[in-house]
Amino acid sequence: MLPVIINADDFGLTEGVCAGIVRAIEAGGVTSTTAMVCVPGSRERLTRWAPRISGQIGAHLQLTSGAPILPPERVPSLVRQDGKFPARRKELQNPRQEEILEEWRAQIESLLCAGIEPTHLDSHHHVHGLPAVFPAFCELARQYSLPARSLDWDMTRNLRAAGVPCIDRTLTGWYGGELSVKSLVRLLQEGLREYPSAENFEVMCHPGFSDDSLPSFSRYVSEREVELAVLCNANLERELVVAGFSLMPIPFAPKATRLASAAPLSRQAVV
């Protein structure tokens, strides 16, 4: 059996997304999630929902959508004139490494202050795949001793060379289009054909309930409910096993601890 992690991105985005992700994890179709802290109300939502899935929550680091944890004047290369992150990763222009590290440390500290000890790292809109951002992502994962999402073989090699554990390959193609148990199994089978030496996979997903606030934050709305139905399907795990795949939690997942060298954050900075 080839081990597979199914990770739900965007935990904390809206009430409906939180409820859907928790349901999918409790149903067994999702093995982990990653939490975002830079959208309005996320801290309160995470505080309420996270205890139900303790130990299965990583950090969904943001440089797009929402506003930074730190005051905008401390991270000027990361924000627009309105003090908010750009909406899309292609709009990030010349982000400074030291500002990325400082802001992402603040995001992890915000999770810790909310009682969430991250088990792994990835990023919203996969901004860590940008050449200007990846070095900071790699350094942060190393500093906090957390496994990280790899987007391709080159990234896998670079992360591991830096001492950062990661899954062999993350499959991101189960997004929109046909969303079914069969298409999820097919994605894994195609991944194995493309990467025959892979010993494990991660599948990115975005389950959730559509609520009134979701369209304000995402164009992926009704599809989240379709994903949720598939991931809660009682036949999912059996179909995966028949195809030669088994669900597993995030491996090599020591809990994050505060960095002794990191400057303490004020209470205001992590609200």
Read off the pLDDT of residues 142-181 as tens digits, 9 standing for 90 and up. 999 999 999 999 999 999 999 999 999 999 999 878 999 9
Residue ranges of domains in the chain, CATH in brackets: 2-270 (3.20.20.370)
pLDDT tens-digit series, residues 147-158: 999 999 999 999
- Quick one: pLDDT band at residue 252, thresholds 50, 70, 90? low
- 60 and 217 Cβ atoms separated by less than 8 Å: no
Nearest by Cα to 144 from 9, 259, 5: 259
In DSSP terms, which residues pair with 121 in a beta bridge? 59, 148
Phi, psi values for residue 203, rounded to 5°: -115, 125
Average of per-residue pLDDT across 199-219: 95
How high does pLDDT run on average in the chain? 91
Does 257 have pLDDT greater than 60?
no
pLDDT tens-digit series, residues 15-38: 999 999 999 999 999 999 999 999
The pTM of the full predicted model, rounded to 2 decimals, is 0.91
* CA 29/CA 49 separation, integer angstroms: 18
